[in-house]
């Protein structure tokens, strides 16, 4: 699809009728061309590699939906999950700006679109393909359906735990297209503000989900109160609780409230997710509470396997840090006696060597910087708090949590072989 042509004059397609779902990829529709059938199979193949697909919806604009979507994706990534973020707001893509990715361009490799990567996340947006920030996309339904299908089918998402899909406000072509193309999506998170005008529109979004048999994972009430930047006191400048009451009336889960915080506005303007750089704020803590049940989608399935992401260039060995206590993987990295720094060839899935290192005193930020200086690009631990995961990410070190106590060589070899079983994060402070 030529994305330079941003004007579409075609009429709306009957295929966008509400509630229409495609057949299974293995089934060929009567009269379906071979090309269309192969395209359907390609889409199904991509989606099978993504464990959870979550839409973020809102009934109206201006409620902070994209902010919630971006920070949800970052929070999931900081929790050690493999995350993709897809922006399908064709007419108003804001994800590139929120993640300080203005000017980034996806690459084409082996006939696939390689998504833009940042902080271990894979990101795709129509905003990456516009020539300028002020360009307008003037498309009708079929064109939007086509590009969304391209983002799902032609983008090399790889193996993901979560794909967070940021939809435009309302119940139009874009979320409908996703529901048609990805009928196995886990569900939707619906964002509102406390005001009646916002909650009234959210009711329509919930009805939309029900008509398409899309589960509603929960409602988020954004801009719920104001956090004073000087004293930190939470003040209810608008009425609050409208989102929770509406969720109760509509019989859907209520995930939580996110207050207004000047730090959040500053983070958005600077292109930095607030959960990353303002993790100690009440707003970030509220997001942690909202993310918890979303993480449970993955954590409630025992036997999750850590998949090697091969973060180094081809031919360059990995250095994997394992915290040790009495020669076994220590369940909390900050309580370890030693670190085993194991060098491995990710392509050959072979251990090349091992060093035993005595860590410096455990103080906030010390161990991530020290391990970075040792050349580590991955740490495998039993448990690790959110702030520590942030600090490791800032130092370019990937984190795998939930590993069981075992010898360091056995742990690393299982990771290289794709058989390392991970469970619950045993530390979450």
Structure tokens at 386: 């959110």
Report the pLDDT value the prediction gives residue 405, as an integer from 0 to 100.
85
What are the residue ranges spanned by the domains of the chain? 14-299, 304-422
Residues 6+ apart with CB under 8 A from 236: 224, 225, 226
Report the pLDDT value the prediction gives residue 301, as an integer from 0 to 100.
45
User: Residue with structure tokens 């109160």?
Assistant: 225
3-state DSSP assignment of residue 200: helix
How many Cα atoms within 13 Å fall on the side-chain side of residue 234? 13
Q: What is the pLDDT along the chain (429 residues), one digit of tens a residue?
A: 444 444 444 434 434 344 444 455 556 778 888 877 888 888 888 898 999 999 999 988 888 899 999 999 998 988 888 999 999 998 889 899 889 898 899 999 988 999 999 888 999 999 998 877 777 777 777 888 899 999 999 999 999 999 999 999 988 888 899 998 998 899 999 999 887 777 888 899 999 999 998 999 999 998 877 766 666 666 676 666 678 888 888 889 999 888 887 776 677 667 677 776 666 677 888 888 888 888 877 654 444 555 555 444 455 789 999 999 888 998 777 778 899 999 999 888 899 999 999 999 877 788 999 999 999 999 998 878 767 777 787 777 888 888 888 899 999 999 988 888 877 665 544
Report the pLDDT value the prediction gives residue 107, as an integer from 0 to 100.
92
Q: Taking the chain, what is the end-to-end CA distance rounded to the nearest angstrom? A: 46
3-state DSSP assignment of residue 75: helix
Burial label for 339, CB within 10 Å (0-12, 13-18, 19+), is buried
Of 175, 182, 4, 174, the C-alpha closest to 90 is 174
The CATH class that applies to domain 304-422 reads alpha beta
What architecture is domain 14-299? Answer: 3-Layer(aba) Sandwich (3.40)
Q: Decide if 179 contacts 185 (C-beta within 8 A).
A: yes
Cα–Cα distance, 325 to 348 (Å, whole number):
29
Report the pLDDT value the prediction gives residue 396, as an integer from 0 to 100.
79
Residues 6+ apart with CB under 8 A from 38: none
Of 104, 59, 52, the C-alpha closest to 83 is 52
Q: Decide if 177 contacts 149 (C-beta within 8 A).
A: yes
pTM score above 0.95 = no
- Check the CA dihedral 283-174-97-9 and report its sign: negative
Of 334, 382, 333, the C-alpha closest to 362 is 334
């Amino acid at each position: 699809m030529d994305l330079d042509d941003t004007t579409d004059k075609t009429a709306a397609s009957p295929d966008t009728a509400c509630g229409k779902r495609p057949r299974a990829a293995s089934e060929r529709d009567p009269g379906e061309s071979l090309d269309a059938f192969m395209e359907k199979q390609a889409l199904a193949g991509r989606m099978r590699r993504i464990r959870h697909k979550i839409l973020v919806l809102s009934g109206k604009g201006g409620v902070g939906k994209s902010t919630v979507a971006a920070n949800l994706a970052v929070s999931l990534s900081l929790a050690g999950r493999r995350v993709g973020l897809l922006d399908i707001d064709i007419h108003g893509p804001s994800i590139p700006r929120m993640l300080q990715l203005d000017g980034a361009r996806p690459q084409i490799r082996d006939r696939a679109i390689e998504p833009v990567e940042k902080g271990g996340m894979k990101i795709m947006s129509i905003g990456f393909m516009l020539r300028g920030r002020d360009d307008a996309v003037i498309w009708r339904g079929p064109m939007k359906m086509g590009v969304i299908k391209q983002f799902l089918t032609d983008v090399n998402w790889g193996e993901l735990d979560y794909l967070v899909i940021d939809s435009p406000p309302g119940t139009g072509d874009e979320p409908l297209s996703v529901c048609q193309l990805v009928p196995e999506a886990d569900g939707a998170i619906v964002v509102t503000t406390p005001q009646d005008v916002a909650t009234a529109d959210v009711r329509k979004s919930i009805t939309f989900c029900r008509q398409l048999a899309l589960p509603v994972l929960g409602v988020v009430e954004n801009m719920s109160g104001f956090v004073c930047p000087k004293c930190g006191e939470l003040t209810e400048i608008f009425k609050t609780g409208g989102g929770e009451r509406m969720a109760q009336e509509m019989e859907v889960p209520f995930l939580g409230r996110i207050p207004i915080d000047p730090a959040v506005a500053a983070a958005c303007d600077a292109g930095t997710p607030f959960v990353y750089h303002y993790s100690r704020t009440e707003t970030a803590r509220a997001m942690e509470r909202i993310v918890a049940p979303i993480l449970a989608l993955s954590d409630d399935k025992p036997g999750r396997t850590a998949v090697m992401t091969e973060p180094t260039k081809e031919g360059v060995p990995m250095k994997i840090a394992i915290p040790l206590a009495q020669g076994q993987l220590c369940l909390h990295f900050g309580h370890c006696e030693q670190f085993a720094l194991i060098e491995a060839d990710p392509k050959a899935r072979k251990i090349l060597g091992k060093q035993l290192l005595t860590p410096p005193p455990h103080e906030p930020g010390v161990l991530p910087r020290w391990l970075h200086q040792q050349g580590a690009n991955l740490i495998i631990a039993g448990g690790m708090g959110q702030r520590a995961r942030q600090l490791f990410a800032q130092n370019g070190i990937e984190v795998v949590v939930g590993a069981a106590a075992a010898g360091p060589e056995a742990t690393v070899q299982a990771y290289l072989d794709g058989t390392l079983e991970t469970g619950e994060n045993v530390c979450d402070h």
